[in-house]
C-alpha cells in the first residue's frame, strides 16, 4: 500500500503544470464564485461608481499626472501619496467593457488572483528545482493551493478598491520570476531585462508597496547570482528613476501621505511601537486561524500596561525563537529568502511609517507568499525524510486546512455582497470603530433608513469628533431635515479639518438654497480652484453665473461639468444655458 501511494506521488511530480493550472482555475472560480455577483462596497462607491473620469478612456493620461484617490467625484484633487495610476487605468478598461456593472470588475479580480496563484506555483517550482529538491512540484502545488483559498485573501479579491494589491503582487511576481530566468541563462537577454524593468515599474504604478519587487529581485540575485547583481541593480534603479519622475516631477506628489483621522494614523512613534506586537500577532492569527475577519481595524495601544503589548510581545518573542530554531534545523538558504520576503513586505504595513489602519487583511496578501514559501520547504523535508505514516499524517492535515480554508473563504465572500451586509456584520466584531459606524450609517441611509443612519453617524462622530467624513455625513442628515444652520456648521468644520470636494459641494448646495447668487459665487470660485475636476462644483458655479446673467462664463462651466460627468441633469443645464 505504501509503495503504491509513494508511486502515485511520484507520478503527480511528473505531471505537466497544465494539470495544476487547471486545478487552480477550477477551484479559484469555485471558492470565489459568489464574489462575481456582489455589489460595489466601501470605497468602490468613490473609486468606481461615482468616479466620472474612469468613464472615458481619453482620461487615462490624467491618471499619471496627479493623486489618483477619488473623493466625492474630485478624482485628481486629493493631495497626498496615493498614487496608483495603473489601478485607475484598469478601472477605465473594465468600465469600457462592462459599464458600471460590478460583475466585470469582480471577474477581473478573480482572474487576477488565480493568475497570481499560478505565478506563485511557477516561482516556487523554479526555486525548488534550482535547489534540486525532491517533491518540489508537489510542495509548490500545496503552498499555491493554500494561497488560492486562504480566507485572509478575500478582502483583496472581493473588494474592488483593493485591486491595487492584486496588481502590484502580479507584477512583482513577474519581475522576480523573470529575474530568476535571466540569472539562470549564461547570455545577457535584453528581452528579460526589459520585462523586469517594465514589471517593476508596473508594480510601483499599481501601489507604492511595489518597492518590494525591487528589494526581492536584488536579494535573490545577491544570494544566488552575484555575477548578475550589478546589471539587475541598474535595471531596478532605472525603474525607480522613471517612477520617481512621474510621481515627484509630473504628478508633483510628495512621499508624505494625507492621513485619514484614524487613531494609528495620528499616533506618536512611541504609541505605534507599543501597538506593533498587536499588529504582528493579528497577522499571524489571520494566517493560522482566520476565523474572525473584519475591516477597519483601528486599535491603538497607548501604554505598556495594556495586555495587548506585554502579553502579545511575549507570545511574539516565543514564536520568533521557535521559528529561529526551526529555520536553523532546516539548514536551507532558500528559507532565509522567504523569511526576508515575509518580514520586509510585512514590515511595510506595521505602521513604523503611519498608515490609515492598524491592521488590514488585504495587506497580508503579498507577505503570505513568503510565509507559505517557508511552509513549503518544511513540506519538502517531511516528504523527503519522514516515514510513510508521517507523510500521510502531514498530507491529511494539509487537506483539512485546505477544506476549512475553502469553506471559510466562501462564507466570507457572502459578507461582501453589499455595503449593508458587510458593515452590519463587521461592526459586531469592531464596535469601537468610528469608520465602521460611519460606513454602516451610509449604507442605512442609502437603504432608506434615515433614522438609524443618523444614529450611526452620531455614534461615529462621538468616537472620532474630528473626522471630516463623519462631520460631512451628519451634516447631510441635518440638511435633509431643513436644519441648514447646523448642517452648515458641520460642513465648515469638515472643510477646516480636511478640505474635500464632497464638503465643498454640500456646503455649496446650502449656499444655493439660502444665499444670494453673488455670495454663492464668491464661495464657489474659491472651491473650484481647489477642486477644478469636480463635476458638481462646475455645475453649481454654472447655475450661479446663469442666475446673474453671466451666460458665456456659465456656458464654460456647464460644458466642463458635462465633460466630467455626462449626466442628464448636467446636459439639461447646458442646453438651458445655450438657449
pTM value is 0.85
Tell me the three cell numbers of residue 409: 473563504
| Residue with cell string 511609517 | 353
Strand partners, 359: 297
* φ and ψ at residue 283, rounded to 5 degrees: -70, -40
Q: Residue 11's pLDDT is what?
A: 52
pLDDT single digits (tens) 274-308: 999 999 999 999 999 998 999 988 889 999 999 99
Q: Residue 255's pLDDT is what?
A: 60
Domains and CATH numbers, the chain: 2-411 (no CATH), 517-579 (1.25.40.10)
How many other C-beta atoms lie within 10 A of the C-beta of residue 109? 25
Q: Does the pLDDT at position 78 exceed 50?
A: no
The C-alpha atoms of residue 283 and residue 193 are separated, in whole angstroms, by 35
Buried b / exposed e along 399-414 (16+ C-beta atoms within 10 A):
eebbeebbebbbebbe
The C-alpha atoms of residue 315 and residue 276 are separated, in whole angstroms, by 13
Name the DSSP class of 358.
Answer: S
Region 215-234 average pLDDT: 91
Q: Residue 10's pLDDT is what?
A: 47
Output the DSSP codes for 466-506.
Answer: T-HHHHHHHHHHHHHTT-HHHHHHHHHHHHHHS--HHHHHH
The C-alpha atoms of residue 126 and residue 459 are separated, in whole angstroms, by 53
What sign does the dihedral 474-476-480-481 (CA atoms) show?
positive
* φ and ψ at residue 532, rounded to 5 degrees: -65, -20
Q: How far apart are the two ends of the chain, measured CA to CA in Å?
A: 88
Q: Residue 434's pLDDT is what?
A: 86
Highest-confidence range of 120-124, 127-131, 256-260, 324-328, by mean pLDDT?
120-124
Name the DSSP class of 47.
Answer: I
Tell me the three cell numbers of residue 496: 477646516
Distances (CA, A) of 540 to 71, 187, 260, 536: 18, 63, 27, 6
Category of 39 on φ-ψ map: left (φ > 0), alpha (ψ -120 to 50) or beta:
beta
Find the farthest-apart pair of alpha carbons in the chain and give their distance in angstroms, rounded: 92
Strand partners, 297: 359
**Averaged pLDDT of the chain:** 87
Contacts of residue 130, defined as CB under 8 A and 6 or more positions apart, other chains included, come to 180, 184, 224
The C-alpha atoms of residue 506 and residue 515 are separated, in whole angstroms, by 14
pLDDT single digits (tens) 167-212: 999 999 999 999 998 988 878 889 999 999 999 999 999 999 999 9
Q: Does the pLDDT at position 258 exceed 60?
A: no
Q: Residue 256's pLDDT is what?
A: 56
Q: Residue 79's pLDDT is what?
A: 39
| Residue with cell string 483601528 | 298
| Residue with cell string 501619496 | 81
pLDDT single digits (tens) 349-406: 999 988 888 999 999 999 999 999 999 998 888 888 878 888 888 889 999 999 999 9
User: Which of the pair, 428 or 156, is modelled with greater confidence?
Assistant: 156
Find the range with the poorest average confidence among 130-144, 216-230, 446-460, 543-557.
543-557
Contacts of residue 97, defined as CB under 8 A and 6 or more positions apart, other chains included, come to 104
Query: For residues 456 and 449, is the Cβ–Cβ distance under 8 A?
Result: no
Category of 80 on φ-ψ map: left (φ > 0), alpha (ψ -120 to 50) or beta:
left
Q: Residue 74's pLDDT is what?
A: 36
Amino acid at each position: 500500500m505504501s509503495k503504491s501511494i509513494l508511486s502515485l506521488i511520484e507520478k503527480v511530480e511528473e505531471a505537466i503544470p497544465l494539470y495544476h493550472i487547471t486545478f487552480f482555475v477550477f477551484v479559484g472560480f469555485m471558492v470565489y464564485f459568489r464574489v462575481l455577483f456582489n455589489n460595489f462596497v466601501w470605497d468602490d462607491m468613490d473609486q468606481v461608481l461615482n468616479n466620472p473620469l474612469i468613464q472615458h478612456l481619453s482620461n487615462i493620461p490624467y491618471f499619471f499626472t496627479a493623486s489618483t484617490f477619488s473623493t466625492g467625484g474630485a478624482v485628481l484633487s486629493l493631495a497626498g501619496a496615493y498614487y496608483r495610476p495603473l489601478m485607475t487605468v484598469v478601472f477605465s478598461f473594465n468600465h469600457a467593457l462592462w459599464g458600471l456593472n460590478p460583475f466585470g470588475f469582480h471577474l477581473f479580480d478573480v482572474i487576477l488572483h488565480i493568475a497570481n496563484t499560478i505565478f506563485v506555483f511557477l516561482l516556487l517550482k523554479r526555486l525548488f528545482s534550482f535547489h534540486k529538491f525532491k517533491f518540489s512540484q508537489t510542495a509548490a502545488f500545496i503552498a499555491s493551493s493554500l494561497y488560492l483559498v486562504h480566507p485572509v485573501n478575500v478582502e483583496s479579491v472581493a473588494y474592488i478598491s483593493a485591486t491595487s494589491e492584486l496588481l502590484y503582487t502580479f507584477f512583482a511576481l513577474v519581475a522576480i520570476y523573470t529575474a530568476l530566468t535571466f540569472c539562470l541563462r549564461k547570455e545577457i537577454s535584453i528581452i528579460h531585462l526589459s520585462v523586469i524593468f517594465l514589471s517593476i515599474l508596473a508594480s510601483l504604478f499599481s501601489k507604492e508597496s511595489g518597492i518590494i519587487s525591487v528589494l526581492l529581485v536584488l536579494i535573490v540575485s545577491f544570494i544566488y547570482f552575484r555575477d548578475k547583481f550589478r546589471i539587475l541593480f541598474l535595471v531596478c534603479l532605472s525603474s525607480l528613476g522613471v517612477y520617481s519622475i512621474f510621481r515627484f516631477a509630473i504628478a508633483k506628489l510628495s512621499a508624505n501621505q494625507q492621513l485619514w483621522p484614524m487613531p494609528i494614523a495620528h499616533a506618536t512613534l512611541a504609541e505605534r511601537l507599543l501597538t506593533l506586537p498587536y499588529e504582528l500577532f493579528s497577522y499571524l492569527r489571520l494566517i493560522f486561524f482566520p476565523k474572525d475577519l473584519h475591516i477597519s481595524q483601528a486599535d491603538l495601544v497607548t501604554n505598556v500596561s495594556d495586555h495587548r503589548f506585554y502579553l502579545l510581545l511575549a507570545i511574539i518573542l516565543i514564536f520568533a525563537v521557535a521559528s529561529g530554531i526551526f529555520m536553523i534545523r532546516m539548514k536551507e538558504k532558500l528559507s532565509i529568502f522567504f523569511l526576508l520576503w515575509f518580514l520586509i513586505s510585512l514590515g511595510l504595513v506595521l505602521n513604523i511609517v503611519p498608515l490609515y489602519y492598524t491592521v488590514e487583511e488585504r495587506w497580508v496578501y503579498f507577505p503570505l507568499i513568503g510565509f507559505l514559501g517557508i511552509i513549503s520547504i518544511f513540506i519538502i523535508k517531511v516528504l523527503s525524510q519522514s516515514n510513510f505514516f508521517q507523510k500521510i499524517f502531514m498530507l491529511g492535515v494539509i487537506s483539512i486546512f485546505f477544506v476549512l480554508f475553502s469553506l471559510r473563504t466562501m462564507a466570507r465572500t457572502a459578507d461582501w455582497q453589499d455595503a449593508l451586509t458587510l458593515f452590519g456584520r463587521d461592526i459586531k466584531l469592531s464596535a469601537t470603530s468610528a469608520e465602521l459606524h460611519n460606513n454602516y450609517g451610509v449604507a442605512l441611509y442609502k437603504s432608506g433608513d434615515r433614522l438609524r443612519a443618523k444614529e450611526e453617524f452620531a455614534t461615529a462622530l462621538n468616537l472620532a469628533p474630528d473626522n471630516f467624513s463623519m462631520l460631512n455625513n451628519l451634516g447631510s442628515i441635518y440638511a435633509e431635515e431643513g436644519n441648514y444652520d447646523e448642517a452648515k456648521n458641520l460642513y465648515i468644520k469638515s472643510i477646516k479639518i480636511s478640505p474635500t470636494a464632497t464638503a465643498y459641494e454640500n456646503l455649496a448646495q446650502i449656499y444655493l438654497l439660502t444665499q444670494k447668487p453673488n455670495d454663492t459665487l464668491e464661495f464657489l470660485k474659491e472651491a473650484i480652484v481647489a477642486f477644478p475636476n469636480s463635476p458638481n462644483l462646475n455645475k453649481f458655479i454654472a447655475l450661479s453665473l446663469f442666475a446673474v446673467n453671466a451666460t458665456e462664463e456659465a456656458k464654460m462651466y456647464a460644458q466642463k461639468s458635462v465633460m466630467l460627468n455626462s449626466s442628464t441633469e448636467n446636459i439639461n443645464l447646458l442646453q438651458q444655458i445655450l438657449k
